Structure 1
């Protein structure tokens, strides 16, 4: 292989952006293509980043900006439907004792920080562009794009999300499947006194919660059984979320008046997927949600994607040959850890759907979080 290695990254989300930054740091030429013209710079309300995600963000060199932009905390509260605090638990610092257990952030703010880091890395970025065809041989991949151009690469990293077209194009047939639950999310001003995530289990929704995302903002969410999207016109989203949330007391009484704009309310089904077999075909390899996805019941989706990028980039910059053995090692290192997170995340939701009253939720969460303290 030529020493002037070239990589195409498909998808400008957490995994794609992180892989680009790490590979460029090692001097590898990277093209990043993203289907959205705006690079997803305004999408989403909030995101919960636990310590193992923060550990990767520190490796990317953006931790200080994340810390300044988000809201750090080390505990989670369990409340009754009326808002009474029943229990406060210390969170496991999965990124190590020198990082907070959790940082809540506005999702667009995190994306902007990663975009800036990708731009600063010197990667060539093309927005509004999709990869459509892949022709592989022993030395690399020829890729054709929607704008009529083509490029030649030593490796392609498919980080194009849960509905990955690349995954299907290279013959991996796994697809996401709904778990039976859905979530309503909205950004809102931070009520005085909200300094951690609080969760309520029960009431008209299975889970109701909120997470501070800055000194002045939060994102709030309610999870229920999924409904046929066709029966929920987008113009009613605020009304639907407000109806569910109105049963909850405490800080919810301050949040409710801000659930008014249906365009600011997001409704999403919970899905699960785990590609058990190899995550690559030839020189095209999956990362992030293209390889696995899970409900946000453990708040580990972004963390798993960031860890994928860290492990894959570490192998690619280790001086080894970029061959089948290296990509198999990437899969072998990631699969057990990701499987644990996916299965636990699905089980937590399943317990809610099935009304299991004696479920050991704290025990399951504690075991997973303790495992995540280990380096990926």
Structure 2
């Protein structure tokens, strides 16, 4: 007998943006959803800031959290390009990829976005277990048996692996793609917002490839500096993170001296490499589907990583609750609906960084960004 939507049971592995979003949407459609997250704190306190463009905001509105996001963040509609000394060279209007009724861009403190999504997951009635991981034990045509790290087991009609860039589930089901470093790295930190900072400003050149900041509330921003990745991440002691970022930031002008003065706590500075990942062919094996960073990731040069993950959740939830049989045909159709859009974003994001690494001075950066953002105005 075919199960109804109401009797289907789904396991979501990973409580980041895509995992939280798909949980909220599937619960809204009446499915039974268990969500597990390996980190006991549910990532509620990590990260500095995030830039969300209109197509991400569109999904957040679908989740029912847009009003909270809007109240917590800082909306704006332009991007400034400056010289390293802070002189404004160009101001470009951001494209409204989420439609005219949403801001073009919104900056938000990442822990606040996570908390908003956590609250929505809790309110949805999903079962949540933290500090738990899962191993796929066996699959058949009807479902998946899972063993959890607390020695319990579960049987599910579908497992959605949203467990991030280094997804253990992706590897366990035989998808061999792995993230690859692109050659760049980024320093990020939150800081108080100088009064004159009302949009993202990016300085190209100087002691790093890019130095930028994005307002995240009336009182806060997050700042970031992009440089060539160093030979070994472990060679940079975490206790030196603030000193390393401040050393780079102090050599920029404009709002940077005020921002740099607040880069003092190494625990609030994050250092990561840029990576590229795009799983080709399909994003499922049997009844396990990978989404979000587990399926694709890219450098933040277009600020579209979270948006692509949120779109995955929206599209998959729509397809799972649309009345079609759950199986290879549906899961492959999900991949085919997403892959061209995601590939365009990944390749453009990587290309923007590669032009800088290669020192290409006549690259058509505005053209590439414009073409990509115009494509993103279309519904996913």
Measured after TM superposition, the shift of residue 134 of structure 1 is 2.9
| Secondary structure of 1:16 counterpart | helix
Q: Quick one: distance in 2 between partners of 1:375 and 1:62?
A: 19
C-alpha distance after superposition, 1:62-83 (max 9, x if no partner): 0000000000000000001110
Runs of 4+ in 1 over 2 A off after TM superposition: none
User: In 1, are the aligned partners of 2:136 and 2:144 still within 8 Å (CA)?
Assistant: no
Residue 279 (structure 1) aligned to one of 275, 278, 283: 283
Residue 338 (structure 2) aligned to one of 334, 337, 360: 334
Pairing 1:2–2:3 present: yes
| Secondary structure of 2:315 counterpart | helix
Pairing 1:163–2:166 present: yes
Measured after TM superposition, the shift of residue 277 of structure 1 is 1.3
User: In 1, are the aligned partners of 2:203 and 2:212 still within 8 Å (CA)?
Assistant: yes
1:307 corresponding residue in structure 2 = 311
Pairing 1:254–2:258 present: yes
- The within-5 A match list for 1:3-152 is 3=4, 4-152=7-155
Pairing 1:355–2:343 present: no
Measured after TM superposition, the shift of residue 138 of structure 1 is 1.2
Q: Quick one: distance in 2 between partners of 1:133 and 1:27?
A: 25
2:177 corresponding residue in structure 1 = 174
| Secondary structure of 1:83 counterpart | coil
With structure 2 as the length reference, what TM-score do the two structures score?
A: 0.98
Q: Quick one: distance in 1 between partners of 2:140 and 2:244?
A: 52
CA RMSD across the alignment? 0.5
Q: Quick one: distance in 2 between partners of 1:246 and 1:195?
A: 21
With structure 1 as the length reference, what TM-score do the two structures score?
A: 0.99
Measured after TM superposition, the shift of residue 229 of structure 1 is 1.2
Q: Quick one: distance in 2 between partners of 1:98 and 1:371?
A: 18
Residue 184 (structure 1) aligned to one of 187, 191, 196: 187
Residue 153 (structure 1) aligned to one of 131, 145, 156: 156
Measured after TM superposition, the shift of residue 126 of structure 1 is 0.3
1:366 corresponding residue in structure 2 = 370
2:205 corresponding residue in structure 1 = 202
C-alpha distance after superposition, 1:229-271 (max 9, x if no partner): 1221111000100111111000001101100000000000000
Q: Quick one: distance in 2 between partners of 1:22 and 1:231?
A: 42
Give unpaired runs (5+ residues) of structure 1: none
Measured after TM superposition, the shift of residue 180 of structure 1 is 0.1
Measured after TM superposition, the shift of residue 2 of structure 1 is 2.1
Q: Quick one: distance in 2 between partners of 1:131 and 1:295?
A: 28
Give unpaired runs (5+ residues) of structure 2: none
- The within-5 A match list for 1:292-303 is 292-303=296-307
Aligned residues: 376
| Secondary structure of 2:261 counterpart | helix
